[in-house]
C-alpha cells in the first residue's frame, strides 16, 4: 500500500531531481573510467549509509532471502550507473541526460508487467511523445547516436530498479535498501572491472588512482548524490507512485543541461534541434498531471444498489 503524499514530498522529490541533475557533471569532472567510478561511488556510499544508520540507531539486518532480493536490485543499480557515466563519456552530459528522460516511458510498460496492473493509455501516449522528441534528437545529432543509445539502456535499467524498489519499500527501511543495494552494486562493479580489463580493455589494467580533485567530486557524488539523495528517493516511494516519480525525473535533463552549459561552456552547446527534441520530452512532465486528472474524471460512477 502506498501512503498519502504531501506537498512536502513533492517538493523533496524535485530537490532530489535537482541534485541528480548534477551527477553527469560530476561524472565528467572525475578522471576515473566509468567502471572504476561506479566502484568507488558505491564503496564510499556503502560505508556512508552504514555510518549514518549506526549514528541514527537504524536496523540494517534483514533475512537472507530479503538480502538476496535487495542485492539483485543492487546489480541493476550498478549496471544503470555504469551505462549512465559511459553514455556521458561517449557523447556529452546533455545527450546522456536526454536519453535518461525516457525513464518514464519504460516505467509505463515495466510497472504494469511487474505489479500485474493495467497499462494506462495516457502513460503510453506520453511515452510516445518522448520517442518523438528522441527522433528529433537522433536526426540532427547523429554523431552521438552511440552515447544516446547507451543512455536509453541506462533509462530502462532505472525504470526496472525503481519499480522493484517501490515494492521493497513496503517492507524495508531506506537504510536497509540503500545499504545492501550499494554493497551489491560495489561488488558487481569490482568483479566486472576485472572481467573488462581481461577481455576488452586494450591496456588490460584497472585505474585505481585518483587525480587532482577526484577525491572531492567522488565524496560529493557518493555522499550527497547517493547516500542522501538515493535514501530519500527510496523513502518517497512509500508514498508516491513509481510512474509520476520517474516522470518528474525527466526534469533532471533540464537541470543537468543548464549545469553542463554553465560549467563546460561551448563543448556542451548543441544544435537548436537538440533543444527542440529535449523540450518535446519535457512537455510530457507537464502533461501527466492534467491527463491523469482527466482520466480519473472520465471513469464512470457505479450506481448504488
Q: How many CA atoms lie less than 13 Å away from 280 in the CB half-sphere?
A: 19
242-282 pLDDT, tens digit each: 777 777 776 776 677 777 777 776 655 667 777 787 788 77
One DSSP character per residue, 111-175 reads HHHHHT-PPPHHHHHHHHHHHHHHHHHHHH-GGGHHHHHHHHHHHHHHHHHHHHHHHHTTTS-HH
**CA nearest 255: which of 17, 8, 92?**
17
Identify the band that residue 296 occupies on the pLDDT scale cut at 50, 70 and 90. Answer: low
188-219 pLDDT, tens digit each: 999 988 887 777 666 667 888 888 999 999 99
The pTM score is: 0.77
Cα torsion 154, 156, 161, 163 to 10°: value is 150
Question: Residue 102: pLDDT above 90?
Answer: no
Question: Residue 32: pLDDT above 80?
Answer: yes
For cell 557515466, name the residue. Answer: 85
Distance of CA 22 to the CA centre of its chain: 12
End-to-end CA distance of the chain: 28
Q: Residue 268: what pLDDT? A: 55
CA distance 68 to 33: 28
CA distance 156 to 29: 25
Q: Residue 301: what pLDDT? A: 46
* Higher-confidence position of 219 and 93: 219
Residue 225 CA: distances (Å) to CA of 41, 107, 177: 10, 22, 16
CA distance 221 to 228: 10
CA distance 34 to 18: 22
* Higher-confidence position of 127 and 153: 153
- On whether the CB atoms of residues 199 and 35 are closer than 8 A, the answer is no
Amino acid at each position: 500500500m502506498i501512503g498519502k503524499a504531501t506537498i512536502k514530498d513533492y517538493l523533496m522529490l524535485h530537490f532530489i531531481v535537482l541534485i541528480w541533475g548534477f551527477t553527469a557533471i560530476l561524472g565528467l569532472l572525475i578522471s576515473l573510467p566509468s567502471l572504476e567510478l561506479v566502484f568507488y561511488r558505491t564503496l564510499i556510499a556503502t560505508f556512508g549509509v552504514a555510518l549514518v544508520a549506526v549514528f541514527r540507531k537504524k536496523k540494517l539486518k534483514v533475512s537472507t532471502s530479503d538480502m538476496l532480493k535487495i542485492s539483485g536490485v543492487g546489480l541493476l543499480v550498478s549496471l544503470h550507473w555504469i551505462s549512465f557515466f559511459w553514455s556521458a563519456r561517449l557523447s556529452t552530459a546533455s545527450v546522456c541526460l536526454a536519453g535518461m528522460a525516457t525513464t518514464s516511458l519504460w516505467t509505463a510498460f515495466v510497472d504494469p508487467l511487474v505489479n500485474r496492473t493495467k497499462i494506462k493509455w495516457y502513460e503510453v501516449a506520453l511515452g510516445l511523445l518522448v520517442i518523438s522528441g528522441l527522433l528529433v534528437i537522433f536526426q540532427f545529432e547523429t554523431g552521438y547516436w552511440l552515447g544516446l543509445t547507451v543512455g536509453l539502456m541506462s533509462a530502462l535499467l532505472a525504470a526496472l530498479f525503481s519499480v522493484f524498489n517501490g515494492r521493497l519499500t513496503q517492507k524495508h527501511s531506506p537504510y536497509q535498501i540503500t545499504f545492501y543495494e550499494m554493497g551489491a552494486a560495489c561488488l558487481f562493479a569490482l568483479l566486472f572491472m576485472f572481467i573488462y580489463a581481461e577481455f576488452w580493455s586494450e591496456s588490460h589494467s584497472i585505474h585505481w588512482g585518483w587525480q587532482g580533485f577526484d577525491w572531492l567530486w567522488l565524496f560529493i557524488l557518493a555522499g550527497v548524490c547517493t547516500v542522501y539523495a538515493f535514501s530519500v528517493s527510496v523513502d518517497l516511494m512509500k508514498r508516491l507512485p513509481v510512474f509520476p516519480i520517474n516522470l518528474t525525473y525527466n526534469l533532471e535533463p533540464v537541470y543537468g543541461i543548464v549545469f553542463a552549459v554553465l560549467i563546460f561552456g561551448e563543448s556542451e552547446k548543441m544544435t537548436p534541434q537538440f533543444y527542440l527534441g529535449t523540450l518535446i520530452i519535457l512537455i510530457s512532465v507537464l502533461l501527466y498531471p492534467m491527463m491523469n486528472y482527466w482520466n480519473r474524471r472520465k471513469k464512470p460512477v457505479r450506481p448504488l444498489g
